[in-house]
Amino acid sequence: MAAISTGLFLSASFPKLSWYPLAWIAWVPLLWTIPHVSPGGAFRLGFLAGLVHAGTTLYWIAYVVQRYGGLPLPVALSVLLLLCAYLALYPAAFAWIARRWLSRPAWWAWGLAPAWVALEWVRAHLFTGFPWTQLGYTQTPLLPLIQVADVTGVYGVSWLVVQANAAVLIGWRFKNIRPALAVFLCAGVALAYGSWRLQTGNDAAGTAEEFRVGLVQGNIDQSVKWDPAYQAKTLDTYEELSRQLVRRNRLDLVVWPETAAPFFYDMEAGPTARLHETLEALKTPLLVGIPGVVRVEGAPKLQNQALLLEPSRGVTGRYSKRHLVPFGEYVPLKKVLFFVEKLVAAAGDFQPGKEPAALPLGRHVLGVLICYEAIFPELARDEVRRGATVLVNLTNDAWFGDSSAPYQHKEMARWRAVEFRVPFVRCANTGISAVFAPSGKTLADLPLNTRGTLSATLPSPGPITFYARFGDLFAWLCTLTTATLGVYGALRNRRTP
């Protein structure tokens, strides 16, 4: 029951529920039971907690693979179970480490939080990475607290939350309040830093560098998005919404979401010409998500692209998605998993882009992230280090239906604004479209499953941050700490009869 409670508490901390205070005590039930079981028993309890947490947070994956992959419900549930079982290995390893360090209270007090961060960092990179449920993301509603992300990334908040869990348990079981005092001190420092950043930040739109963007949320149903008979209607929708948008606002850029234009640019003459007619009518630069085709060793390959088009100039910038969705845009280990069908409507494997492509537009530079690239801070960092003054995420969350996934996706994307102190523009097909200030504050948004537009004047970006310069240094230090403690403990155990 303790392991199940931990899993449910962790899940309830994430959207849609967003009961984020639960994260500060979520690990306590599991850690309380660990002294009463063997290391193997601790591993199994951690695995159960992770399985419950992953299953109740990522349940929407079964919906996606059933509806759009055409898999029977039992097979779709099996796919979800396999993913959850993999993700559960990380809480299982954490529980095993906690049991192994049981005889060293100081390691429990100061080592468990770095160990968890190390595991999160590995999960974010192993097998292409899946950093969807990093624990720090639960604290997104606490805007002053998450400002520390411009130094540590999300891992700093994950560390603080796990440190608090360990402190609660040690204070309760061993009547030792020093870890709790340390947590209060660290949280106080983080909140003071965050309050200072919010007061002295650059959330207000600057006059010299004023940049006004408009977002178009077409709300096109995924089931008809690639139907040739619906192509003209899709373009009608985006064209009409865009015309209304520019009539109401003076804009420097109009943004359409991922694959908003459901045709192959320059390969389909009619839709391509119509897109350019729309561009000239708008008299405003347009950033649009669109599928593309490149040749690799003489063979045509699909790419998920974003095109920057300017009136009278045509295409002035192009970005190809670099981090593809496994089983959605390509099949990993294809020779082994030959029986797995892709979830994309178009046939064939997608070809990843090779490098970031920060796109100049006047005095500004657009750093483009497509779909779930927004949850990988290293990709946003590449764009910022190339000079991006605005991060733009084009996405299509129609796959997820009315589940919690669009809310989770949006809240994770918000952190990229904080980490790099640049405004963040998120344009989604069915929502949630939003514009975030460099502090992560929402400047404008559109609800899920709504057809409409929004506009916002973007603040100027701040100076380059510590996190932009040094990346996941904090996570590296936590990983090094955990590895050092593990090696030291193993050597000491070998020397002890």
Catalytic residues: 258, 321, 371
- What is the layout of strands, in order, in the sheet containing 364-370? 359-361, 364-370, 390-395, 424-428, 433-436, 442-446
Q: In the numeric block, which tokens belong to residue 212?
A: 């006004």
User: How big is the CA angle at 128 (ends 472 and 394), to the nearest 5 degrees?
Assistant: 85
> Which pairing describes strands 253-255 and 211-217: parallel, antiparallel, or unpaired?
parallel
Q: In the numeric block, which tokens belong to residue 71?
A: 């898999």
Please report the beta strands in 279-388, taking only residues with DSSP state E, as ranges in sequence order: 286-296, 299-310, 314-320, 359-361, 364-370
Sign, CA torsion 204/206/207/211: negative
Burial class (CB in 10 A: 0-12, 13-18, 19+), 187: middle
Alpha helices in 124-257 (DSSP H): 143-146, 149-152, 154-174, 178-200, 231-248
Torsion of CA 181, 186, 191, 193, to 10 degrees: 140
Whether 202 and 460 have beta carbons less than 8 Å apart is answered as yes
Task: Tell me how far apart the alpha carbons of residues 465 and 487 are, in angstroms, rounded to a whole number.
Answer: 34
The CA distances from residue 197 to 166, 190, 356, 465, in Å, are 28, 10, 29, 12
Sign, CA torsion 209/411/451/328: positive
Written as one letter, the residue type at 261 is A
Torsion of CA 428, 432, 433, 434, to 10 degrees: -150
Whether 350 and 344 have beta carbons less than 8 Å apart is answered as yes
Helices and strands (DSSP H and E) totals, the chain:
16, 12
**Which helix H or strand E contains 301, and what residues bound it?**
strand 299-310
Whether 133 and 54 have beta carbons less than 8 Å apart is answered as yes
Whether 395 and 430 have beta carbons less than 8 Å apart is answered as no
DSSP 3-state assignment of 393?
strand
Written as one letter, the residue type at 52 is V
- Please give the biggest Cα pair distance in the chain: 82
Beta bridge partners of 223: none
Whether 414 and 403 have beta carbons less than 8 Å apart is answered as no
